[in-house]
Amino acid sequence: MPCEVSFSVPRDVPGTWKKFIASPLEDLLPGTADLPAVDHTESLNDRPFGQVGSARQVWLADGNHAFEEIVESRPAEYLKYQVWGWSHPLAKPLEYATGEFWFTAHEQTTAVRWQYSFMLSPRSQLGRLGGLGRWLFRKAFIQRQWAAYMQAGAGAMAAWLATP
pLDDT single digits (tens) 40-72:
999 999 999 999 999 999 999 999 999 999 999
Instruction: Give the mean pLDDT of 84-112.
Output: 93
Q: What is the pLDDT of residue 123?
A: 87
Q: Are strands 38-43 and 55-60 parallel, antiparallel or unpaired?
A: antiparallel
Q: What is the pLDDT of residue 20?
A: 97
**Where is pLDDT greater, at 129 or 41?**
41
Residue type, 156: A
Chain-centroid distance, C-alpha 21 = 13
Beta bridge partners of 42: 57
Q: What is the pLDDT of residue 117?
A: 95
Phi, psi dihedral angles at 109 (to 5 degrees): -125, 175
- Mean pLDDT for the chain? 94
Instruction: Give the mean pLDDT of 114-124.
Output: 92
Decide: residue 22, CB within 10 A, 0-12 exposed, 13-18 middle, 19+ buried.
exposed
Eight-state DSSP code of residue 10: S
State yes or no: pLDDT of 1 exceeds 70. no
**pLDDT one-digit tens code per residue, 3-38:** 999 999 999 999 999 999 999 999 999 999 999 999
Q: What is the pLDDT of residue 163?
A: 92
- Vertex 54: Cα angle to 49 and 58 (nearest 5): 75
Q: What is the pLDDT of residue 92?
A: 85
Q: d(Cα 149, Cα 7) in Å, to the nearest integer?
A: 14
Question: pTM of the predicted model, to two decimals?
Answer: 0.93
Q: d(Cα 94, Cα 85) in Å, to the nearest integer?
A: 9
Beta bridge partners of 59: 40, 65
Instruction: Give the mean pLDDT of 100-107.
Output: 95
Q: d(Cα 60, Cα 164) in Å, to the nearest integer?
A: 27
